[in-house]
Amino acid sequence: MENIISAIDIGTTKIVAVIGKKEADGKYKILGIGNAKSSGVKRGNVYNIEETVEGINNAVKMAELQANIKINDVFVGIAGQNIKCIINSGYINRPNCELEITQAEIDKLEEEQYHIALEPGEEIIHVIPQSFTVDNEFFHSPIGTSGNRLEGKFHVIIGKSLNIRNLKRCVEKAGLNLIKLFLEPIASSKATVTGDEKEAGVAMIDIGGGTSDLAIYYENSLCFTAVVPFGGNVLTADIKQAYGLLENSAEEIKLSAGSTLPESISKDEIITVPGISGRAAKEISRKQLANIIEARMSEIVSIIQYQINNSGYADKLGAGIVLTGGGSLLQCITQFCSFKTGYEGRIGQPIIYLNNEIVKNINSPVFATAIGLIILGDEYYIKNNIITNNIIIKENPEFEEKTVKAKSKPDDFGFAEEFAESKKKKKEPKPEKQPKDPKKSPFNKIINGLTNLFDEKDTNMN
């Protein structure tokens, strides 16, 4: 029986719900995706539960209608400026050195990491094995070997208990069962970074709306994670303040005309922005706009560079950097980050793990985290031998029409429009059958004889 996996990415600017499944070729098919505006989250942390629940409901309903599946269990991403990571070690002395090491012993060693001492108000989100030693000999996986002392090195990810509880409460109030939380940088890298890059050494940078996430891999192990409390929202705020614009207008010109390299723009390029409430339109120098974006992005990249240097793996990134998230859509962002950090870079898109595109916009760095959560969820189900139970939605035209109408306003990627159009086509009535030609009727002679006695309308045959 195949598993249907559902996941929710609760971000600062958007909430994305995705339903998918793994196919025979090892890639993932997206069955449904919903996108809604997020107004209750700031820098990755939930501040307004009711608004966040509303966004979750909106996104989930759209995904359910596209997939024709009612979801119950979900995997959710977590980020936030208070996330931190530590490296911790543990060991066990084995009573019989002749016996081979089993997965159960590895699991026991990993489980013990959840009981290490933490500061008040903190909670462990992930414990990820990095490496093992058996009697001081190094192993990536010690299963099948033998020895007296088994020691493991673990990457422990810690978050604030309050933020974790608020996130869980939002999911539960939306009527969903939270299976597991996954750190968003891990999910993003799962969808965009290849195995070769993880082996050679790579830094995945997810530039989101409220935060920028960093995950460093080396020799196929997660070595370092960090969350920088700045993202695309600060760029929008700078543009809004500099030109006295509405937030929507500032976001629009950032994406359509913004660039991180002012040197590539002519001084004569002008952008016209509609005025507020009937006022005259404003003209903005595109080069000046790029100067504003470059200044703020320099600060963000400098902080990320500091975190990379602090990780101890700055000289081991053979594959350079992979940029993803909404911020990676800025023009010239790859060249800018490569120049600032000194690493070769590329844009990370989830298409390398997808089997098809449910809509034209699914292959976007914006949805890297959501797609990564689907992949992590599938791995979780397989590891724990879990079979999901999903319910097929019965056709309900009134419910569908109401839901699509509700989603059309916050949708920024065309999902609601495409979904509404597909439903409209399904509901179009079949053409009525045309009446038979009276000349071919067996009563042809009788009808022709009566045409002189009756009007034309009286001789129509229905």
Q: What are phi and psi of 246, to 5 degrees?
A: -70, 155
Output the pTM of the full model: 0.81
CA distance 90 to 107: 12
Give the CA dihedral 176, 179, 180, 181, nearest 10 degrees. -10
Q: Which pLDDT band, with edges at 50, 70 and 90, does 307 fall under?
A: very high
Report whether pLDDT(321) > 70.
yes
pLDDT in tens, 230-261: 999 999 999 999 998 988 899 999 989 999 99
In 10 A of CB 198, how many CB atoms? 21
- State the DSSP H helix or E strand holding residue 35, giving kind and residue range, or none if neither: strand 28-37
State the pLDDT at residue 396.
44
Q: Is the dihedral of CA 136, 137, 141, 144 positive or negative?
A: negative
CA of residue 48 relative to chain centroid, distance? 21
Closest CA relative to residue 77, chosen from 114, 38, 121, 116: 38
State the pLDDT at residue 210.
87
Asked if 133 and 139 touch (Cβ cutoff 8 Å), the reply is yes
pLDDT in tens, 112-166: 999 999 999 999 999 999 999 999 899 888 999 999 999 999 999 999 999 999 9
Task: Work out the average pLDDT over 425-429.
Answer: 53
Which residue has 């079949």 as its token pair?
A: 430
CA distance 112 to 219: 25
- List, in order of start, the domains of the chain with CATH numbers: 84-160 (3.30.1490.110), 194-347 (3.30.420.40)
CA distance 219 to 404: 46
Instruction: Kindly report which listed range (216-225, 384-393, 416-425, 439-448) carries the lowest average pLDDT score.
Output: 439-448
User: What's the token pair of residue 234?
Assistant: 């600060």
Closest CA relative to residue 326, chosen from 414, 232, 258, 192: 232
